[in-house]
Amino acid sequence: MTLYTRPFQWFFDNDYDLVDYLGSGGFGIVRKITSKEGTFAMKTTKCWEFGDIGHREFHALKRFQCHPNVLKCHAGKRSNDGFRLLLDLAPYGDLRQVVDKHGFCRRHTAHCYYNQIMGALHCMHTSDDYCHRDLKPENVLVFSRQLCKIGDFGSSLPMDFESKKVPRGGTRRYHPPEIISVVNGIKMDQWGAGMILAFCLIGKDPWNAASMDDPEYEAFQRGDLSALVQINLRWKRLTNTDFHFLRQILHYDPKKRRVPKCYKRNF
């Protein structure tokens, strides 16, 4: 089975060279490939272990290709080792790789990425009632200081039209504090975006779990920046303005979280 064969026939004919290993996760492996048409990333999902996630991710990505902050997917095909996706290659890798290398993101860059992520989410949530469900630094690809794109749509699902509910999924560290198995998909994605902003600004995951048993989360919800700095000096990088903003978008009560005006117009 092949999808979107033109102008990428070379991909389906296997007329390319494997150049480098880029990374792997729970659902597959990503490699750098070259062809006469250029350099790309090829993601292979092991269908026999995880169902048809690769096929689902392909169709989810194709839904939102019009948005500049969604990773470009050029083609998809089944192969002997799973389902392969032909993707744009991010020259700087994912956001975790960038932050691990440089320590943190400058304030302007961090907020730029956050706004772009929120713009892509708004498109997904309002145009097609879709939820990403696994927002984290590893799933944000960096193209420049002014451009990032959301990738890895393997966990994405359509939301219930009226309630916007989806089964809880993704990475526990980036889960919102709502202790329920079915959550509001919009609020879950917005929480993930806020966590990514905090990660960029301080240079580490804000906490291990959104639970009052976690010392960093507890101090954050109390608004005690001094206590956070005592736990980890990286919190010292936050300005008071950014700390206040993070506490608004990562409020423990989903009804009190600050959201962009565009969401207020739609919901």
DSSP letter string over 67-78? STTB--EEEEEE
Percent of the chain with pLDDT over 90: 73
- Asked whether the bond before 176 is cis by omega within 30 degrees of 0, the reply is no
Q: Is 165 annotated as a binding residue?
A: no
Give residue-wise pLDDT tens across range 119-157. Answer: 999 999 999 899 999 999 999 999 999 999 999 998 999
Residue 1's pLDDT band, with cuts at 50, 70 and 90, is very low
Please, what are the domains in the chain? 2-87 (3.30.200.20), 95-266 (1.10.510.10)
Three-class SS of residue 55? helix
Confidence of residue 6 (pLDDT cuts 50, 70, 90): low
pTM listed for this prediction: 0.92
CA 264 from centre of chain: 22
Q: Kindly report the backbone phi and psi dihedral angles of residue 76, in degrees, each rounded to the nearest multiple of 5, phi listed first.
A: -150, 145
pLDDT at 5 over 70: no
**Whole-Å CA distances, 263 to 121, 152, 194, 258, 260:** 10, 23, 15, 10, 6
Once rounded to an integer, what is the mean pLDDT over residues 200-221?
Answer: 98
Q: In this predicted structure, which of 1-5, 109-113, 156-160, 241-245 has the lowest mean pLDDT?
A: 1-5
